Amino acid sequence: FDLPFWDDKDVLHDFSTSTPPLQLVAGWYDFFKECELEDFRKAGPGARLLILPVWHWGLAKQWPLVLNVTIWAFQEHLQGRKPPCTAFLASRVWAAALGDPEGE
């Protein structure tokens, strides 16, 4: 990011401010997972989070699922269509780690 091209670009977003609808994708063993969870917590009700049981680079192998989930998120936002699955928890560990999205 030290090239002149980036001088007028905002490469970071403060998720505590107004955030457009957002689909986040992370791997359960991803070194960015904690940052993704924090961004999800800050992003508000328009955010969706998909966590897959993969490492960071393993996400590329999951592109068909990631693509479908992203399309569902945009269909919900742009067309008001609800996705076919809003939550799939594969284990109690995941449910406990995510906590209550309403903060209660």
Please write the tens of the pLDDT for every residue from 51-82: 888 888 888 888 888 888 888 888 888 898 87
Q: Is the pTM of this model over 0.75?
A: no
* Calpha distance 46→73 (Å, rounded): 9
Determine the pLDDT at residue 88: 57
Spell out the domain ranges in the chain.
9-98
Determine the pLDDT at residue 102: 46
CB 31 within 8 A of CB 56: yes
The 3-state secondary structure of 29-86 reads CCCCHHHHHHHHHHHCCCEEEEEECCCHHHHHHHHHHHHHHHHHHHHHHHHCCCCCCC
